[in-house]
Amino acid sequence: MSGSACDTFKAAITAAFGSSGPVDVDDEQLLHIHGCERCLEWLDAFVPEGLSDGQATDRLMSLIEKIDALAKTDLLPDATVRALHEQRDRREAELEAAVLGFIARHWELDPVLHNIPMERFEPLIFFTALDAVNMLIGRVVSRQGPQPAYYGLRDDGQIFVEDAPTIPAAGVQREILEFIRDCRIVPEEEKVEDLDEALRLERAWRDDETCTKLARWIVLAVRLKPDLMRNFRMIGTAAHDPRVILLLPIKTGTGDRDPVSLWNE
């Protein structure tokens, strides 16, 4: 996706947040996000100045519902949008293959051993959950002044700046929950024709137990491959708590590292 299109999308979202009314953006702008992984990640991490994460999420909810509704319309997309969808599908297939290959090489990560119910989720749940944590720690980093000696991640999800608790486990698990919604295998009883009802069911869905298990899975996966996160590298384990892994940002000259390559290495 061209930089100008991404810049236009981001400008539209930022302008919408600048108004006092409901956050809204034209359909044409919202369709951009279905083919642009970078802008989707940017929107997930977007917290305007002066708002907390929770306040930003609350204001974004109507916009996210509109994005979901556009994605589920019966209108035939034009050639450009179809191409974007095909590009996204290819990317997801590459990611899924990379994740499954990584798990196959590390028997300790087998979902069965962690009681993660894969009959209810697509394999991308592991990439998506890890990416949620990666971006959440990234937001913590962006708000720091001088870089601390390290950041900490405990196997229940809690995030630390050095030894200071910064985001509680429940907050991290809530972030994972929001990210993995799209990885659900929707049960038959939730496959309803009425779009409003489908969106209501989606908003009401929770699986805190799986989010807790994914938090533990993430820490184990990073222990096995210290640079598995796109933007952080594990440098050790906290002396005071072996459940906490210590992380430092990875500096690159070209932005984020390619996740497919990371999971395939």
pLDDT digits (tens, 9 = 90+) for 246-258: 999 987 655 567 8
**How do residues 11-41 score in pLDDT, each as one tens digit?**
877 777 776 666 677 776 676 766 676 777 7
Q: In total, how many domains does the chain have? A: 2
Q: Are residues 197 and 251 in the same domain?
A: yes
Rounded distance between C-alpha atoms, residue 93 and residue 121, angstroms? 15
**How do residues 167-195 score in pLDDT, each as one tens digit?**
999 999 999 998 898 899 888 887 787 77
Q: Starting from the edge strand earliest in sequence, which strands make up the sheet with 244-249, in order? A: 164-167, 159-161, 151-154, 244-249, 232-237
Q: Tell me if 222 is assigned to some domain.
A: yes
In this predicted structure, the answer to whether residue 2 has a pLDDT above a threshold of 50 is no
Q: Give the torsion sign (CA, 236, 124, 177, 68).
A: positive
Q: Tell me if 97 is assigned to some domain.
A: no
Q: What is the pTM of this model?
A: 0.71
Q: Are residues 114 and 67 in the same domain?
A: no
**Average pLDDT value for residue range 221-228:** 96
Q: Tell me if 88 is assigned to some domain.
A: no
3-state SS, 162-214, equals: CCEEEECHHHHHHHHHHHHHHHECCCHHHCCCCHHHHHHHHHHCCCHHHHHHH
Domain ranges, residue 212: 105-264
Instruction: Decide the pairing of beta strands 244-249 and 151-154.
Output: antiparallel
Q: Tell me if 83 is assigned to some domain.
A: no
Identify whether the C-beta of residue 243 lies closer than 8 Å to the C-beta of residue 209: no
In this predicted structure, the answer to whether residue 157 has a pLDDT above a threshold of 80 is yes
